[in-house]
Structure 1
Amino acid sequence: MGKIQTNLRLITICFFISISCFSQNDEKSKKIGKVSNLFKSTSVLEVQMIYSNRDLKKLTNDSTYLDVNLAYLDKDSLRSLPVRVRARGNFRRKNCYFSPVKIKLKKEHTKKTLFKGNKELKLVLPCLKEKNTNDNVIKELLAYKLYEVVSPYHFKTRLLDFTLSEPKGKKVQEHRIKAFFIEDMDVLEDRFGGKTMKRNVHPLQQDSLNSIRNSFFQYMIGNTDYSTGYQHNQKLLFLNGHSIPIPYDFDMSGLCDVSYSVVSQIDGLVLPLESVTQRLYRGFQRSGATMELIRDEFLQNQENMMAIMEDHKSYFENDDEFQISKKYILEFFNIISDPAKFKSEILDKSRTK
């Protein structure tokens, strides 16, 4: 009986927002372009690099790179290719031991390799050398994986067993850590036949369903360190006359709850939060029917999302960290499954400006 009622409710919702519903069905039915071999596999890729963290931070900028070699394990054989790297991320460059890395690859070097089709990559590393450093990486990776369930418009990722050999004077310090690659926006553009938008677009002028999905997702992982209007930790994909938000960088979220996290202040706005683990819905007011549609989408995907959590359990070094992360996501589903909580925590908190 409950299943019948749920289906009737969805039919009613789609009737009132039929254009959006048909638009979304059309989106999902479109053939998605090719995914490069690097991101097709879910296995952990072994990667090795040699560079100085100090040099990376001090000697590189948006246009200056270091020349290094990237070695990776391919069918039990270690292969190597030349790449160029620079530090990225203003906060992490200043506050972290390991800076996130932007990697540039040349087409002539990637032919007949696992990296074919990738001209640029982001390399996400832990921030600090601390107790839960690898678990922090897995938690941020999980955010990307959960968003894959939410929207077809997402960045592909690949988990790494990363070894950094860092010259320290006459010695070399070896760091064996978890990391992951993120595909470049150009590859995402090619996959969907869209273009990155350079100008800012107000969230209410963005594709409504994808904008709301993004807002629900950010609330789910407890992230306020983003702005779709100012493209802070967001890209906008222009596709078929619509602008679609593509989120990234989730280390400041409540799901990750890293030691260096702070409550974000975007454009000078101070949020009423004492900790990043507190949730605050940052989406804008939309029609009740549209909000209900996205709510039902998330509830129907709860099982898939929790399965993804379980699939990554073995990568955690500390089981307590996994259980805390799992509980945090379940708390979100407890909120949206309760009509009163959904109203008070999301509908009533929706922004008007």
Structure 2
Amino acid sequence: MKNQTILLFLALGLLGNPFLYSQSADSTEEKKKTTKLFREQEILPIKLRFSNKEMKKETNDSTYLFSKLLFKDKGQWDSIDVRIRARGNYRRAHCYFPPLKVKIKKSLAKETIFKGNKELKLVMPCVQSTKSLDNIVKEYMAYKIYEVISPFHFKTRMVSIEYTELKGKKDKVHTVKGFLIEDIDKVAKRENAKKMKRIVHPMEQDDIASAQNDFFQFLIGNTDYSTAYQHNQKLVFTSDFRTIPLPYDFDMSGLVDASYAVVSQVQGEVLSIESVKDRLYRGFKRDEAVFQQVRKQYLDKKSEIFEVIEGIKPQFDNEKEFMIARNFIEDFFKVLENDNQFDMQIIRKARIK
């Protein structure tokens, strides 16, 4: 019976949706529309100096600290003035290093590798430990997996960070891993779309794109999202009148399995799982043809996804953490490859409200 349902839908000609297959994360056209900062994928060395205490206590959506970002491009160190603030309320409260929002003046960026990027997110580890640094790599891996699935994704780039924490007379230097995330405006421009701020219920979003997102969240074991309330999701509206969700912030997922991760209760909803390592499908019920289309896409992309995963392996400090992540993703494909498991864990779990 394995894959029998998929073959049936293929025979009926229901799997020809061009949205699934017409665009590739590696397409020449997409690369042309991607800024140099994210076209190049070697690890970018950067240096930052600021007071961590001041960053967490004094910055907010409108209040930034002025700093200088040093970066190494083509073997040479350069610098650029930036404004930075802490983001992510949960991590700000539970982690030593908060994730950061970085703003760069267009006039300063134009002669540097940051050209075309006025706003960036910089994801930092929760604390300086081997597991926390590998958690950064696992979250980065999640972004790279979604690049394989959908043309509507955030570009990312790994960075090695030398962070000098200003602590009065005794500054402290931390060497950690992190990664940069492009701004939603860049994604929208690349895909000829416009970002949306208003709430759009998932059932009013594009069926395929919404299911791709929900399958991905199931893949990484994440329930800390809501496309209805744009919690860890952005929306764009395309030129052909489709509303498309873009996922981000995966630190609460079972794939990352951060030390502070808890099962999310978005809008106060208590879920039936006890651990972030337990998968729970949170997508809405749709025509089964949609589920089968997206199921087949993921299965067709399995080898490409694992190529991405293997390519990231050298960035792990602990090979055991890599294998845990790899096995977690392998378990997702076992569900897709088994008709009974697919029916029980996805079809029957799909929400109606």
**3-state SS of the aligned residue for 1:103?**
strand
**3-state SS of the aligned residue for 1:14?**
coil
Contact 1:48–1:70 (Cα < 8 Å) also in 2: yes
Question: Post-superposition, which runs of at least 4 consecutive aligned residues in structure 1 deviate over 3 A?
Answer: 5-9, 22-33
**3-state SS of the aligned residue for 2:231?**
coil
Contact 1:13–1:293 (Cα < 8 Å) also in 2: no
Q: Could you list the runs of 5+ residues in structure 2 that have no partner in the other structure?
A: none
Contact 1:35–1:191 (Cα < 8 Å) also in 2: yes
Deviations 1:203-238 (A, max 9, x none): 111000000000000000000000011100000011
> How many residues were matched structurally?
348
Pairing 1:317–2:309 present: no
Q: Which segment drifts farther, 46-55 or 125-134? A: 125-134
Structure 1 residues 30 and 177, CA, compared in 2 at 3 Å: closer, same or farther?
Answer: closer
1:1-353 to 2 correspondences below 5 Å: 9-14=9-14, 21-22=17-18, 32=30, 34-239=33-238, 240-353=240-353
Q: CA RMSD in A?
A: 2.1
Contact 1:81–1:110 (Cα < 8 Å) also in 2: yes
Residue 6 of structure 1 deviates from its aligned partner by 6.9
- What amino acid is the match of 1:238? F
Q: Could you list the runs of 5+ residues in structure 1 that have no partner in the other structure?
A: none
Contact 1:336–1:342 (Cα < 8 Å) also in 2: yes
Q: Which segment drifts farther, 274-283 or 58-67? A: 58-67
Contact 1:144–1:157 (Cα < 8 Å) also in 2: yes
Contact 2:6–2:292 (Cα < 8 Å) also in 1: no
Contact 2:257–2:277 (Cα < 8 Å) also in 1: yes
Contact 1:71–1:81 (Cα < 8 Å) also in 2: yes
Contact 1:160–1:179 (Cα < 8 Å) also in 2: yes
Contact 1:13–1:289 (Cα < 8 Å) also in 2: no
Normalised TM-score (structure 2): 0.94
- State the percentage of identical aligned residues: 47
More relative contact order, 1 or 2 (CA 8 Å, 6+ apart): 2
- What amino acid is the match of 1:169? G
CA distance in 2, matches of 1:30, 1:72: 27
Contact 2:135–2:256 (Cα < 8 Å) also in 1: yes
Residue 10 of structure 1 deviates from its aligned partner by 2.2
Contact 1:213–1:294 (Cα < 8 Å) also in 2: yes
CA distance in 2, matches of 1:167, 1:9: 60
**3-state SS of the aligned residue for 1:132?**
helix
Residue 131 of structure 1 deviates from its aligned partner by 3.7
**3-state SS of the aligned residue for 2:12?**
helix
CA distance in 2, matches of 1:336, 1:22: 21
Contact 1:13–1:290 (Cα < 8 Å) also in 2: no
